[in-house]
Amino acid sequence: MRCLITTADERSWRFDCPALFLGEWCRRYDRKHIWSSMDADVAAPYGLTEGQREKDYSRVVKLSDELLVELADILNIHHGTNHSLRYWRILLGHWLHRFISVIFNRFHTLEKTLKENAVECTSSFDEHFYSLVTQDSLEFIWAYGDDVWNNVLCSKILRFMRSEIRVETLDCLDVSGFEMRRANSPNLSLPSLKKKMANGVRNTLQAMCRKHDAFIINSGLPPTEHIKLQLLLGQVPQMWYGGASWAGKVPSTDDLLRKRLTPDLSGNCGFDQCVRALLFDLLPICYLEGYQKLQDQVRQLPWPSAPRFIFTVDSFDTDEVFKAWTGLRMEEGIPYYTGQHGNNYGTHRYSYSETECVATSDKFLTWGWTDGNAKHLPAFVLTTCGKMERKANSAGGLLLIELHAPGGGGIWDEYEEFQLYQEDQHSFVDKLPNDIQRYLTVRLHGAHKKLPWCDEQRWRDRNPEIELDDGSRPIGKLIESSRLVVHSYDSTGILETLSQNIPTLCFWQGGLSHVRESARSYYEALQRAGIIQSSAESAARKIEEIWNDIPSWWASKEIQSARRKFCGRYAVTTRTPAKSLKRILQEASN
C-alpha cells in the first residue's frame, strides 16, 4: 500500500512509507535529490490515446454548453437580471470551459490511479481554511498551476468520490487561500515621467472620442497600423486599455450563498455530479459577490456609448471589464467581432478558444481560412502584417524555438506529453553534427521563467555547451541572424515565418493526429516538401543535408509551392494591413 502524493509541495509528502506520485508535475527537476531516493512510483498518465482524447474533448464541450445554461439561469435569478445566454457566454464562457477541463482531468486522473494502484492514504491542506475561489478568470489560470490549490482540490474530489483512502489533514496555519503571485502578472508599469506623458496623451485623445466611434481594443496590429486603421475609419485614434486587472477586488466569499446556489445534484452521478458540486466552490468572485462592483466599473468607462462595432483579438478571454461591457453592448444590438490571435485556429482538432470566439461574436476574422461557418471572415496574419519577405542569412545560425511546459489546465496529462517532448528536443540536438551544433541557439519560451519545469537547468545538465536564449531577446532579432528556423511544435511562429518566406523546418510528436480533416492536405503538402519532418532524428538529418546551401533548398519549386499553398489558406499576407482590415470590418458591418 502506498501514500498518494498529489502535488510538488513537499509539506504534503510522506517520507516514512512507500509513495505514489499522481503525475510528473509532482517531481520538480530541481528537487530530484529528494524524490530520487524515495521508495516511490509515478501513476500512469490519463487520456493520451487519440481515441480517448476525441471522446473526452467532445464530452467537455457538450458539458460546457449544458452547464452554461444552468449557470446563466442561476446567476440571472440571483443578480435580478435577464441577460441572454450569449451575454453569459461572453462573460464567463472561457472560464467555464477551463473549469470543466480542470475538474475533468483531476477527477479522471484520480479515478484511474485508484483503480490501478493500491493506495492507503494521502495528505491534504485543510480545505476548511483554504478557499479555491479566485478573484477572476486570470487568477484562475494561475491557480490551477499552484501546488497547494491542486492539493486541496484533489482532496475535495477524493471526498466527493467517497474513496476509501484516508485523507490526513495537514496543520499549516499560513495556508489560507490562493493569491496570485504578482511576479507572474504582466508588468505594465512605465517610468514615472513616461507614464504621465502617455496618460496625458491618452486623456486628450479620449476627450475627442465620439459615441458612435468603432471600439477597437487589442487589435493585434502593430501600433502604427492600429492608428492608421482608426484614421481610415474617420475617427480620432484611441489606445484603449482593458480592465484585465479587475479593480473591484472583494476580500472574502459568501460561503452560505455559494452553498445555496449550488445546482441540484440528484439528477447526475459520477463526474457530471462532481463538476456541479464544485461549481460554486470555484466560481470567480467577479461573477458572484463582486458582480455589482464589476457593473459599477463598466458604467464608469470612458468608452463610446454606442459604437458602430466592437473588435478585438485578445480581450475576449480574461479581461472581465471588457467582457461585461461588450455583453451589454451586444444586447443593445452593437455588432461584436473577434479575430484570430495565434495558431491552432482552423487547424487543430481541440481548439476551444476558437469555438468560444465564433459562438460569442457576430463575425470571426481568420488569418485567411474559412471552414463552412458563415461567421468566418478571411483576413491575414495580423502579427507580421506590413513586414516584407526576407532572404535567408546564408552565414547565419540555427535557431530552435521551444515550447513552455503546461500550466495544468489540460483535459489529459499534458505533463507526460511534455516530458516526451523534452526528450525529443535533446535527441534532435544530439543527432546534429558537431560542426552544426556550434551554430545552434535554443530559444526557451518566455513563459518558462514563470513555470516550475526548470527548462534552463535541464538543458545545462544535458548539453552544457549549447547556447541558450532565456526568452528575453526579441525573437525577430534572433530570426534575422539565423539561416534556418526550427519549430518543435505546431506554433504561431510557423505561420509567421512561412508567411514571411523565412527558411523553416518543423518537427513534433504525434504527426498530424492533432490536425482536423479540413487542414490535413495543407499540412501533408508541407510534409511531402520536407518542411515538416516526421521525427527529431529526421529533422537533424535533413539539416545536415541542406546546411551548406539552405537558400537553394528553400527556393526550390517544391518548397515554395507547398509554402504558398499553406499560406494561401492559413497565413495570408497583405502590404496594406490597415486598409485591408478597414474594408473587412466595413463589409462585416454592412
Domains and CATH numbers, the chain: 397-570 (3.40.50.2000)
545545462: which residue's cell?
460
How many other C-beta atoms are found inside a 10 Å radius of the C-beta of residue 310? Answer: 25
CA distance 562 to 556: 10
pLDDT recorded at residue 245: 54
491575414: which residue's cell?
380
Contact 334, 310 (CB under 8 A): yes
Residue 301 in grid coordinates: 468607462
The helix-helix angle for 270-277 and 85-116 (nearest 10°) equals 120
441572454: which residue's cell?
84
Exposed (0-12), middle (13-18) or buried (19+): which is 575, by Cβ within 10 Å? exposed
The per-residue DSSP string of 299-339 comes to HT--S-SS-S-EEESSTTTT-HHHHHHHHHHHHTT--EEEE
* Measured torsion, CA atoms of residues 200, 202, 205, 211, in degrees rounded to the nearest 10: -130
Residue 268 in grid coordinates: 447526475
Q: What is the DSSP-derived secondary structure letter of residue 81?
A: -
Residue 504 in grid coordinates: 523553416
Q: Which long-range contacts (CB under 8 A, 24 or more apart) does 72-77 make?
A: 74/261, 74/263, 75/287, 75/288, 75/291
Q: How many helices (H) and strands (E) does the chain have?
A: 23, 16
The helix-helix angle for 270-277 and 50-79 (nearest 10°) equals 40
Three-class secondary structure of residue 408 per DSSP: coil
Q: What is the DSSP-derived secondary structure letter of residue 402?
A: P
Phi, psi of 212 (to 5 degrees): -100, 5
Contact 152, 134 (CB under 8 A): no
Three-class secondary structure of residue 80 per DSSP: coil
Angle at 575 between CA 572 and CA 577, to 5 degrees: 75
pLDDT recorded at residue 273: 96
pLDDT recorded at residue 181: 52
CA distance 102 to 408: 8
How many other C-beta atoms are found inside a 10 Å radius of the C-beta of residue 189? Answer: 8
Q: Which helix (H) or strand (E) holds 365?
A: strand 363-366
The pLDDT tens digits along the chain (590 residues) read 999 999 999 999 999 999 999 999 999 999 999 999 999 999 999 999 889 999 999 999 999 999 999 999 999 999 999 999 999 999 999 999 999 999 999 999 999 999 999 999 999 998 888 899 999 999 999 999 999 999 999 999 999 998 889 999 987 766 767 776 543 444 444 567 777 777 888 888 888 999 999 999 999 999 999 999 999 999 999 988 765 556 667 768 999 999 999 998 888 899 999 999 999 999 999 999 999 999 999 999 999 999 999 999 999 999 999 999 999 999 999 999 999 999 999 999 999 999 999 999 999 999 999 998 999 999 999 988 766 666 668 889 999 999 999 999 999 999 999 999 999 999 999 999 999 999 999 999 999 999 999 999 999 999 999 999 999 999 999 999 999 999 999 999 999 999 999 999 999 988 999 999 999 999 999 999 999 999 999 999 999 999 999 999 999 999 999 999 999 999 999 999 999 999 999 999 87
pLDDT recorded at residue 248: 65
pLDDT recorded at residue 243: 58
The per-residue DSSP string of 461-529 comes to HH-TTSEEE-S-S-HHHHHHTEEEEEESSS-HHHHHHHHTT--EEEE-TTTTTTB-HHHHHHHHHHHHH
The CA distances from residue 232 to 227, 263, 280, 313, 588, in Å, are: 9, 50, 46, 19, 16
Strands 310-312 and 215-216 come out as: parallel
Contact 67, 96 (CB under 8 A): yes
Contact 376, 370 (CB under 8 A): yes
CA distance 376 to 364: 5
Give the contacts of 384 (CB within 8 A, at least 6 positions apart).
496, 499, 500, 573
